[in-house]
Structure 1
Amino acid sequence: MTTTWPAGLPRSLDYPAGSVADLLAGTARAHPDRTALIDGEVRLTYAELYERSLRVAQGLRGRGVAPGEAVAVHMPNSVWFTVAYYGILLAGAAVVPVNPTQPPLALRRQLDDSGAVAVLSHPLVAARLAPAVEDGSSSVRLVSLAPPTAAAPAPEGEAAPAFAVAVVAFDELLTADAAPATAVDGDTVAHLAFTGGTTGVPKAVRVLHRNLIVNVLQVACWRSAAVPYSDERGHILLRQVPGAVTPHHIPLGAATGISIAPLFHGMGMVSQSAFVAAGVTMTVFGRFDAVGYLDTIERLGVHAVTGSPALCHALLAVPGVRERDLSCVRVVSSGSAPIDPAAVAELAEIFPRAVISDGYGLTEATMGVAISPLDSAMPRPAGSTGLVLFDTEVEIREPDGATPVAAGERGEVWVRGPQITDGYHGHPELTAAQYADGWLRTGDLGTLDAQGWLSLVGRAKDMLIYKGYNVYPGPLENVLREHPAVAQASVVGRPHQEHGEIPVAFVSVKAGVPAAERTVLAGELMAYVAQRVAPYQRVREVTIVEELPLSATGKILKTELRRRAAAS
């Protein structure tokens, strides 16, 4: 049991029976006229968001989509992604969120693996979808294309592709009657969410409705210092806890945020519903523009900023960012990968009234496992990702997967809680390897100290062995980021005939570092690290790059860096 916990909050929540549909209905009733989404000229209140989602649900039912069937959302971020997402859930179907930028062959595999019967897509990415269903042999029998918006504009100069299946305009789905939501039980699948997982094999995680609503409430109550309850209609709402709320917590029905995380990813989808629970007004961003992002924060007085470490680094690199007035921001939440302490310190400079909150989660745990407290009186230890959420347990274990390590010692992170999902769809052997007795083997390496602070040092597969010593990339990356010239850094292992593996680093530098300095920077960085770590941990080579390769969710692609290291 932890000895550190946010003042006034219970350690366990009483979760109302119901689903995310009941949560959206509750917010629509509590805050009907509050703006839910802003996407350029398109604005939807919470009442309108709920009503349009009910119409999409009925439109899908009217075209043969049955409860329990899978429907893919193949869209960039836009207001219509959110309407499509809730519409599918309100129809009793399972959402299959897919990366809209992936090539047709990868998309076809995901459609086949999930058994999706319909795809809600967008003209901007329809050209990738058409080849994936062109032969008519897939499970897909219906495609619908959403209207362009500011966040997801129409493609330039591209003719609309032809599809080998039935096509219906998204606007036509919206003309259906707003019939009641289809009832679902907690063991029904809500998401078939694809992840590379700890084995690197693409597979769909079975996120059940009970997993989803619990994790949404865990995150929402943490961020708002609240507890959930049901009203007389069975709608789910939040109530803030007197004495627990700080200026950094998200006030119910009174805050503004920015939606920038990809909504096809667990962080984006689950965080979206957590913001819905709090009645937050969200401005939807499509293609990321750091200057435009900062302009929006200042113009709207944004309370909550969320994103990945890559987004945070991009904001820090904007010229003149320290001259802006960003005092409206009260919480900066970073997720999808650990954020280094040096970046946390810099973010605190440009967001002077904000708590910098890190978070840890994974798709196999629906989304969230641990989050830093939103209380400036509880500064987290350097490098920590936060405290474990309500009703969630974490154990750090030896590689055998059975033996717990002592407090503060490194090992593999295992998680147990009501948000742990039902396993991998169609892969019982992979499920058996990662899920055991209610526990999830995450494949992440970390520590858990005696006060309950969780820290991550990397992935088990990213750890390298140099002359028999375990070398963890995370601490080395943090040291490199402390150098004043470094913007981002990633350490990987390169095979070595004599030593097993050697640590090598890829580094991008901050704007303004002269080219002449870059030529000597690699050697300087190796010496910088050597002064701060044990001899076996020293970085043996540094490569300066313009930018590090990133996934769509802002994670550094270490597989690509290992390939470059092996080839150099």
Structure 2
Amino acid sequence: MHTYWPEGMPTSLHYPDLPVCGLLTAAARLYGDRVAVVDGDLRLSFAEVRDLAVAFAHGLRGTGVRDGDVVLLHLSNSAWFLIGYYGTLLAGATVSPANPLQPAPGLHAQLLDTGAVAAVSHPAHLTPLTEARTGSRLRTVVVVPPSACAPSAVPPSAAPGVIALADLLTGHTDVPPHTAVTGDDVAQILYTGGTTGVSKGVRVLHRNVVANVTQMTAWRAAHLITEEGGGDLRLRPLPGPRDPGMRPGAGVTVLQSPLFHVHALINTIFLLLCGTTVVLSGRFSPERMLASIEEHRATYLLGSPTMWQALLAGPGVGEHDLSSVRVISSGGAPIDKATLTSLEAAFPAAAVGEGYGLTEGTCLVTSTPLLHGARRKLGSVGLPLFDTTVEIRPLTGGSAALGPNEVGELWVRGPQVTAGYLNRPEAGAEQFVAGWLRTGDLGYVDEDGFVFLSGRAKEMLIYKGYNVYPRELEDILHGHPGLRAAAVIGRAHAPVGQEPVAFVVPRPGADVDPEEVMAYVAARVLPYKKIRAMHIVDSLPLSAAGKILKSRLSALPAADDRG
């Protein structure tokens, strides 16, 4: 057991043997008429979400969808995303979420790779999907109605093979269709972010999702999932005095992160199992989010570092009552220490922490203990979850684990490690080795078991034979009072190998002097780590999940270049 392992917390859990849709069935039974989803004026109870998902499942089966078929979920955040997700699983099919803003060529590639036979889309995004379906197996498209979170001025489509959601839901029993799906079947195919290369479809099994949600429930809500007579799931609080900050059946979250990304999707499944009301928001606006937190008395927030930075940069933080927030969880990308510290100041009643995960690990691998009073370490992504092992291995190869505080590559083993890549056996053989997942991330584990990240292996640069980790420099840059955001990449320079180059976004109204910023960094690092050039830019290119797309940085126009 780790020195810092929360007192009274078990180190191993029982994982229910059931498909993911069983978690929705349990939530509907446990919370019934409690509001599960808010999308503007549309409010659905847990029982209503379950009933609509069952009707959706029967509708899909009526179109010919069968066990193991793939359904493309081509939607932005709305109540209908969750109905489509759970309904597809209840139909025995596999879900493959897609970014609704993806151009037709990317959608076409995903349709061909997955062999999707049906899709769920929205009037505003139907045109690129119609273009993308040519030559694919796609035969049915279900179109959901506009909502407050996902409005549209586009009229309904009457194209062949397009079905309105209302027609799909009509005239079905409330008993789920019979399927032969087990925990070893594929629940979802999610595509990696592709920030450093081509996106790959990750085969996530039902048991992977159930295991990760079980881990989250115990770690963040201090409740164990137990199975009563007849297989009914219950949540049982862990014994002993503890304040998890999140109370099942009483929480509220305001969700801004895209549900088509693994971070928001798996966290939302966990939150719904814990009876949390999910308030969905449309396009991100710091002021709108702060107002929603105050209006709905949100207790649990999750988001990416770029979202937190935008929220803190505006003037509205001090103008709203944020005292209801008890937990803030950051994920999707590494967060800097300065932003974490600012979050703690802005939300004084909240336990603030971050986690580390990746699509190949279902979602979450390590997490800061979010129980109030639990010990944390600033800059760490926390401890490995229950039944999860993180080893640091040398980049030069070999399976021998490095010692405490030695930087190497993170390898992960646990019940959330997925079943590899779709149609890419060679790539899978490189990343999934004898039950271990080779993450491609660099970091170290300290003497107490806390995990610290140094960046991606592909991003590490070598200057005159020395390893330089961009994340260390980015953390320092984020501490500069004149900067809102920053990213560091390596630039080839023959005499030295590679040299660190920074791209920075000033805070509104700040007059940033590149020479002063580079001197600020130089005063805090060894000489070989100094930034050799700096570009001032208006914004950094981001993925839908808020990750910085470093492959695009070198193409950005620079206002300043010093070095």
TM-score (normalizing by structure 1): 0.95
Whole-angstrom CA distance in 2 between matches of 1:43 and 1:466: 56
What per-residue deviation string (whole Å, max 9, x for no partner) do you get for residues 197-240 of structure 1?
Answer: 69722221110111111111111221101111123332333222
Q: Deviations over 1:260-297 (max 9, x none)?
A: 21111111111111001100001011211110100010
Please give the residue correspondences for 1:232-271 in structure 2 after superposition, counting only pairs within 5 Å.
232-243=229-240, 245-246=242-243, 248-271=244-267
| CA drift at 1:472 | 0.1
Range that drifts further, 139-148 or 217-226: 217-226
Correspondence 1:201 to 2:198: yes
Q: Which whole-Å CA distance do the structure 2 matches of 1:498 and 1:51 have between them? A: 66
- Change in CA separation of 1:148 and 1:173 when aligned onto 2, cut-off 3 Å: same
Q: Is the 8 A contact 2:220 2:371 kept in 1?
A: no
Cα deviation digits, residues 340-370 of structure 1 (max 9, x gap): 1100111111101111110110010111101
Corresponding position of 1:40: 40
SS in 2 for 1:102: coil
Aligned match of 1:308: 304
Match of 1:172 in 2: 167
Deviation string 1:81-111 (CA, Å, 9 cap, x unpaired) is: 0000000011110000111111000100001
Residue identity in the other structure for 1:153: P
Deviation at 1:196, TM superposition (A): 4.4
Match of 1:391 in 2: 387
**Do residues 228 (structure 1) and 225 (structure 2) align?**
yes
User: Is 1:505–2:523 an aligned residue pair?
Assistant: no
C-alpha change, 1:444 and 1:468, in structure 2 (3 Å) is: same
- What are the equivalent positions in structure 2 for 1:352-371 lying under 5 Å apart? 352-371=348-367
Q: Is the 8 A contact 1:413 1:442 kept in 2?
A: yes
1:332 paired with 2:306, answer no
Secondary structure of the residue that 1:413 maps to in structure 2?
strand
Kept in 1, the 8 Å contact 2:16–2:210? The answer is: no
- Residues 126 and 16 of structure 1: is their aligned pair in 2 closer, same or farther, counting only changes over 3 Å? same
Calculate the aligned-residue CA RMSD, in Å: 1.7
8 Å CA contact 2:329, 2:355 repeated in 1: yes
Specify whether residues 440 and 289 from structure 1 end up closer, same or farther in structure 2 by C-alpha distance, changes over 3 A only.
same
In the aligned structure 1, how far is the partner of 2:337 from the partner of 2:516? 21
Match of 2:125 in 1: 125
Residue 127 of structure 1, CA deviation:
1.7
The residue type equivalent to 2:214 in the other structure is L
Per the alignment, residue 77 of structure 2 pairs with: 77
User: Structure 1 269/141 Cα, relative in aligned 2: closer, same or farther at 3 Å?
Assistant: same
Look up the match of 1:50. Answer: 50
Bigger shift: 170-179 or 433-442?
A: 170-179
Q: Which letter does structure 1 place at the counterpart of 2:33? A: D
Q: What is the number of equivalent residue pairs in this alignment? A: 557
8 A Cα contact 1:322 1:349, kept in partner: no
Shift in Å at residue 320 of structure 1? Answer: 3.8
Is the alpha carbon distance of 1:286 and 1:481 closer, same or farther for their aligned partners in structure 2, counting shifts above 3 Å? same
Q: Deviations over 1:435-492 (max 9, x none)?
A: 1110000000011112111111100001011111110000100111111111111110
> Are residues 199 and 233 of structure 1, via their aligned partners in 2, closer, same or farther at CA, if it must alter by over 3 Å?
farther
Give runs of aligned pairs for residues 61-460 of structure 1, distance below 5 A.
61-133=61-133, 135=134, 137-154=135-152, 156=153, 158=154, 163=159, 166-175=161-170, 176-181=172-177, 182-196=179-193, 200-243=197-240, 245-246=242-243, 248-399=244-395, 400-460=397-457
Separation (CA, whole Å) in 1 of partners of 2:264 and 2:230? 28
Match of 2:542 in 1: 550
Q: 1:147 to 1:320 in 2, by over 3 A?
A: closer
| Aligned 8 A contact 2:36 2:277 in 1 | yes
Q: Once the two structures are aligned, what percentage of the paired residues are identical? A: 48
Query: How has the CA–CA distance of structure 1 residues 159 and 23 changed in structure 2, closer, same or farther, with 3 Å as cutoff?
Result: closer
Residue aligned with 1:107, SS: helix
For 1:258 and 1:480, the matched residues in 2 are separated by 29
Unaligned runs of 5+ in 1: none
Give the Cα separation in 1 of the matches to 2:30 and 2:457: 45
What residue number does 1:472 align with?
469
Whole-Å separation in 1 of the counterparts to 2:64 and 2:398: 46
Q: Tell me how far apart the structure 2 counterparts of residues 334 and 244 of structure 1 sit (CA, whole Å).
A: 26
Instruction: Tell me the TM-score normalized by structure 2.
Output: 0.96
Deviation at 1:563, TM superposition (A): 3.9
State the distance in 1 between where 2:128 and 2:235 align: 40
CA deviations on 1:9-41 (whole Å, 9 max, x unpaired) are 211111122122111111111110100000001
Given that 2:421 and 2:428 are in contact with CA atoms closer than 8 Å, whether structure 1 keeps it comes out as yes
Decide whether the 8 Å contact of 2:123 with 2:155 is kept in 1. no
The ranges of structure 1 where at least 4 consecutive aligned residues each deviate by more than 6 angstroms after the TM superposition are 565-568
When structure 1 is superposed on structure 2, of 69-78 and 317-326 the one drifting more is: 317-326
Aligned AA (2:518): M
**Whole-Å separation in 2 of the counterparts to 1:449 and 1:382:** 13
**C-alpha spacing 1:533/1:2, structure 2 compared with 1 (3 Å):** same
Secondary structure, counterpart of 1:201 in structure 2: coil
Contact 1:127 1:161 in 2 (8 A): no
SS at match of 1:116: coil
- Identify unmatched segments of 5+ residues in structure 2: none
Distance in 2 between residues matched to 1:506 and 1:22, nearest whole Å: 46
